[in-house]
Structure 1
Amino acid sequence: MDKRDPRFKSIKRSTRKVYSDLRKKGVSAHVKHAPTITTEEEKLLKDKMILDVDTPKGLLKKICCLKGGEDRRSLKPSQFFRLKTSPSYHYIKNGSKNKSGALQAENKEVVIQAVPENVPQHLIYLFHLFLSKVPEYAILKDVFYLHPKSTASLNPEGKWYHSVLVGKNKLSNMVKEMSIEAGFSELKTNYSLRATGATVLFSAGVI
């Protein structure tokens, strides 16, 4: 039976009320939050040069770490544009959809400002470097994450990436693989990036 069948509506309304009543009584499912990345673990990543932006793999991992969650594969170069009159990128965050397919939010424009003293870590430098190293194919096809070339065959002045998209599973496990490579005591996931960012902002009194 199709889940959109009208006969399901009454069942949905009933179960929604039951769930609401249970939550009011303190009965709810246990939510497991993503573990955050500690300062010590960040140091491990740095010491082992896992996020070294002078290498294709390191730069790709660094760029991947700038966007948490599982929707990163939908990221496109066309969502970023740089103003010639200002050292900043404008990022267009596409509106999201709920499970029924309805649009929850309109596209949102976010301005990414340069922080000169943070070179080579600030976003402007990283995006500019990364986009300068992807082949023309990426821009024409509007794709973002591409497989890195081996450093052995690398031309420092040329392109660093093949015209082959990084797979969904590879992107989904990027942070997990980095945590294994760095020797973290606890495995981290892509969601850990978002949790870490929120924790840092909260500790700083920003949110």
Structure 2
Amino acid sequence: MNAENTLKANRKCANILRDYLQEKQQDDDFEKFDCVRLNETLCHFYVDLRKGDGERYKASSLESIRHGINRYLKAPPHSKTFDIVKDSPFNDSNANFKAVLAESKRFGLGDVEHFPVINEVDRETLYTSMYLSSTTPTGLANKVQFDIRLYFAEEELKICTAKDELTKNHRESDKELVSGVMPESPGSVYCPVASYENYIRRLHPSNDRLWQKPLDSFSTEADVWYCNMPLGEKKLSTFMSELSKKCKLSIVYTNHSIRATGATVLSQNMYGSAQIMAVTGHKSVQSLTTYQRVDTNEKIKMGKTISDNLVQRAVIASNHTCNRSKSDDSGSFMEQIQDIDIGDIPYHQQVVVRKLSHLSC
């Protein structure tokens, strides 16, 4: 599946170059270009590259597009032996690319964007809103999709498991070992399994797609709540951002935010990286860290821990210094007493000095 996704991403990058050439009314069959012509084409392409709305791409997106085109050309059926990123015939285009990259960073488009975790207040707003209510087709579909993305840490909903797969006991021999589990919450109106089972029962029987368009008008007693029409890819890709706007959340979240939320909640509840990776499917701890966030309250607690530790040590050090000072003063005083010539002081004070001298011995 990962290889298929990579090929799809490569074709998408290649189509960006193809669309650019078509817009310029040039030959778009760039797969047949030699190095000289392709280098010249890329020189202009990198400089002119913009989104559909005319906005500049982020630095990370520019990198992805260039590497995607490179992989596309090197893969079958084209199987090019040259490399547009590393080889010297492409020095000019790569010099332009670096200049464009630097310019995008000057425009503030070079920072890596970490997807925000959905905070507790917004999560409560979501689950108590009409847009995640299990009593309507739209609300039920939204809740089930959110639950699946959260519990199974699905970045994209390409494969959806059947009912028996969701509730079965996974054995050691199962091939699908990287997966979350969506447990029941008996008696709760928010039970994810109950919502899923209700949703499955309401789907249009003539359509085998899991995500179907909700009916505009419905009866709560009706068996079918959905049209014989699947939801489009765009609708799925903008799921969380649209939900954020409708529910008036504090910020507009993305689908990645749901995945980040699941990983962060597990981390906050003391699950180890290996356990979390078994759910999210991350291949390394380093890639997992981008989904584990420390919220403001945790940072305050961490700051207090540091402060308390410093204060505690400072108090101990201060007490130690004070006690040592008292001890030093006492010792010095006793030494002074012992050095006194008893005959140099009045008789009525000699008794006190003798007692103090005796205590110091």
Name the TM-score, length of structure 2 as normaliser.
Answer: 0.41
Which of 160, 173, 184 matches 2:238? Answer: 173
Could you say which residue in structure 1 is the equivalent of 2:196? 127
Q: State the alpha-carbon separation in 2 of the partners of residues 111 and 158 from structure 1.
A: 30
SS at the partner of 1:50?
A: helix
Displacement of 1:109: 7.0
Q: Cα–Cα, structure 1 residues 153 and 32, in superposed 2: closer, same or farther, change >3 Å?
A: same
Displacement of 1:200: 0.6
Name the TM-score, length of structure 1 as normaliser.
Answer: 0.68
**Contact 2:213–2:226 (8 Å) recurs in 1:** yes
**Contact 2:155–2:259 (8 Å) recurs in 1:** no
Could you say which residue in structure 1 is the equivalent of 2:213? 147
Could you say which residue in structure 2 is the equivalent of 1:89? 167
**Contact 2:239–2:255 (8 Å) recurs in 1:** yes
| Larger RCO (CA within 8 A; separation ≥ 6) | 1
SS at the partner of 2:167?
A: strand
Which of 225, 228, 232 matches 1:163? Answer: 228
Displacement of 1:119: 3.1
Displacement of 1:184: 1.6
Could you say which residue in structure 2 is the equivalent of 1:49? 130
Q: Cα–Cα, structure 1 residues 126 and 46, in superposed 2: closer, same or farther, change >3 Å?
A: closer
Q: Cα–Cα, structure 1 residues 183 and 9, in superposed 2: closer, same or farther, change >3 Å?
A: closer
More helix by share: 2
The amino acid across from 2:159 in the alignment is: L
The amino acid across from 2:215 in the alignment is: K
**Contact 1:80–1:91 (8 Å) recurs in 2:** no
SS at the partner of 1:136?
A: coil
SS at the partner of 2:206?
A: helix
More strand by share: 1
Q: How large is the RMSD of aligned CA atoms in angstroms? A: 2.9
Could you say which residue in structure 2 is the equivalent of 1:183? 248
**Contact 1:137–1:163 (8 Å) recurs in 2:** yes
Gaps of 5+ in 1: 13-28, 93-105
Q: State the alpha-carbon separation in 1 of the partners of residues 234 and 119 from structure 2.
A: 25
Rg bigger for which structure?
Answer: 2
Displacement of 1:124: 2.2
Q: Cα–Cα, structure 1 residues 91 and 149, in superposed 2: closer, same or farther, change >3 Å?
A: farther
**Contact 1:80–1:90 (8 Å) recurs in 2:** no
Could you say which residue in structure 1 is the equivalent of 2:83? 8
**Contact 2:240–2:253 (8 Å) recurs in 1:** yes
Could you say which residue in structure 1 is the equivalent of 2:139? 58
Number of residues paired by the alignment? 167
Task: Provide, for residues 137-195 of structure 1, a one-character-per-residue CA deviation record: whole Å limited to 9, x for no partner.
Answer: 23xx3x11000012x43352311100101111111111111111111221101111001
Q: State the alpha-carbon separation in 1 of the partners of residues 200 and 233 from structure 2.
A: 20
Q: State the alpha-carbon separation in 2 of the partners of residues 118 and 69 from structure 1.
A: 26
Task: Provide, for residues 58-117 of structure 1, a one-character-per-residue CA deviation record: whole Å limited to 9, x for no partner.
Answer: 011111112255521x234xx32427xxxx62499xxxxxxxxxxxxx654757464343
Q: Cα–Cα, structure 1 residues 90 and 133, in superposed 2: closer, same or farther, change >3 Å?
A: same
Q: Cα–Cα, structure 1 residues 170 and 9, in superposed 2: closer, same or farther, change >3 Å?
A: closer
Could you say which residue in structure 1 is the equivalent of 2:268? 203
Displacement of 1:125: 1.3
